[in-house]
Structure 1
């Protein structure tokens, strides 16, 4: 029997294994701007946007002091963090650039624009915003036509002047 997940379903949070909790808090809270909601000693922390109980859990339960997971193995590819407006994406791009962050890529996917980088443990992050649904590209049959093209970073930064 076929089953379709309800359309209101959302992915509520992600829990990441990290090797150094404070270093991860410095990155996620200090640089990206998430709020620290609660810690469990020096082993776990839960962080949020907008005072939600948590969007991201960070823990060292099985990973304290360990190296990043090998790239060429099964596992998490990246966590995608959705920003509400294009201007918000421009602001975090500027902040990260000024902090000397190393990006791994930039893309215009038609439905969204995205920045890619890794956290201090090598966990991939996609920071993005979605275009309004009525602007999403469609093919001749009306199907979604996502793509990957070069993101115009100069144009993105112009959002900060509007």
Structure 2
């Protein structure tokens, strides 16, 4: 009996490791079955979220910033002191995309409302979401969502 418990525990550990997501990557799993990997900096506290991508002069096409909140809430962003145009991808607590704002204008202080129950926001270079056919209903995979989703980060 004890041997069986150890075997199940080892199998569970192997599965958990296979499902783990690197902290510095977000995989967007599209509804069409494709996936896109982005290398991200995570902003998960007040000062990091407040600074965001302000003053960043350039960003690689496969890079971005993931803003994570402790719980879902109404979220608005602006582009004050942001030098590069951005796409903003707003998700619920499961990592499901609920809205996308394309081509946010640098320095614009107009509020960009993402929704009432936003758990995270992924900022990418402007045009990337359209170029990669990222749509509402697609899913972000990252450790921030491990509690909410069972999809592996390497899903393809």
- Bucket of the pairwise TM-score, normalised by the shorter protein: under 0.3
TM-score, normalised to structure 2, is 0.25
The structure with higher relative contact order (CA 8 Å, sep 6+) is 2
More strand by share: 2
